[in-house]
Amino acid sequence: MAKELLDKPILVLDGGLGTTLEDEHGIKFSFKTPLWSSHLLIENTSTLRKVQQDFASAGADIILTATYQSSFDGFENTKMSNKDDDSIGLEEARKYMLSAVDLAREAFAGRPGLVALSLGAYGATMIPSTEYSGAYGPMNGDDLFKFHMDRISTFQDNQKAWQEIDLVAFETLPRIDEVRAVVNVMQTTANKPYWISCVFPNDDRCLPDGTTIDELIESLLLPPKGGARHHHQPWAIGINCTKIHKISKLINAFENTSKRSSLDLPRLVLYPDGAGNQVYDTKLQQWVGDNSDQKPWDLQMADIIQEVTQRGAWRGIVVGGCCKTTPYHIQQLRKRVDALK
């Protein structure tokens, strides 16, 4: 069944888990909850289950696990309200991370659906988070390889969880060395489809570290230098947590680069935020700005999907939402996608 779903030309992804927990369920995140939405794997699991079920019921084909900010350091720095001891140890952290896979699968309530293992950028685990800037301090490419390898090994080493995972989603990557590190990590997991989505917070159509789309496409689609003869290419590449008004020009840039380089594009994965003109202040840990006078998010997405499918440059498209997109947004997006068929 997973193979049949993976071959669909358009798949609908879920929406913004953390912001939906905040906006619709009154969950409060702060520096005291460094795991962000992953904190609900420890406490208040019932609310996490409800939100993921709501996204699945809204029509999402893919549910992301609540592991975007998960890291061993994050668990170690988390204080549990019902315990007096200092921190969450390595084995307990692994247990919580693995539990996210079952929760995501349960969201479909027996219906066909895909579980995507959500693995955010290294910067998503920092306090304050730095996935929009790529300011990682002394971390280099080798360090990032080890970080991502250690984290994915938690799931890969557990046969039951690994079998339940249909896709691996590396999200909101802001740096080319992190992109390359992730590609290298995935050369060791050749039987698991994966996507890499990057963030474009600026107006220059570059990653936050200044990497051009030409450089990015080359690193995503060409075999790593000195790597194995077989290249485990991403199942999808794309954009997330980026303003929706930037998306069309970014996709065009991806397509133009692939033509110039004679590279075939895989699937496109696209899940911009639904925040309009609002931006997230990582220091204040709140959204600031105005969100008025916006064309409905689902209509903007439908226009983009139609443009992309008409050009036919991609093998397929995965569409969903990031920050500030709710089950309602995904329900409306599902209707737009179904109307295009």
Instruction: Dig out the tokens for 285 from the structure.
Output: 């840990």
Instruction: Dig out the tokens for 62 from the structure.
Output: 């893919």
What's the whole-model pTM score?
0.94
Instruction: Dig out the tokens for 130 from the structure.
Output: 């730095």
pLDDT recorded at residue 17: 96
Which residues on adjacent β-strands are paired with residue 317? Answer: 10, 268
Q: Which of 1, 3, 11 is nearest to 268 (CA)?
A: 11
d(CA 312, CA 105): 32
DSSP three-state, residue 68: coil
3-class SS letters over 144-173: HHHHHHHHHHHHHCCHHHHHHCCEEEEEEE
Give the domains, in start order, of the chain with CATH numbers.
Answer: 2-340 (3.20.20.330)
Strands 114-120 and 167-173: parallel
pLDDT by residue, tens only, the chain of 341 residues: 687 999 999 999 999 999 999 989 988 887 778 888 899 999 999 999 999 999 999 999 999 999 999 999 999 888 776 555 567 999 999 999 999 999 999 999 999 999 999 999 999 999 889 999 999 999 999 999 999 999 999 999 999 999 999 999 999 999 999 999 999 999 988 689 999 999 999 999 999 999 999 999 999 999 877 655 678 999 999 999 999 999 999 999 999 999 999 999 999 999 999 867 676 666 666 656 666 657 899 999 999 999 999 999 999 999 999 999 999 999 999 999 999 97
Is 323 a known ligand-binding residue? Answer: yes
Neighbours of 81 (CB within 10 A): 6
Distances (CA, A) of 289 to 204, 240, 274, 286, 294: 21, 20, 13, 10, 13
d(CA 122, CA 74): 11
Distances (CA, A) of 16 to 104, 162, 174: 14, 24, 19
Q: How would you class 256 by CB atoms within 10 Å of its CB: exposed for 0-12, middle for 13-18, buried for 19 or more?
A: middle
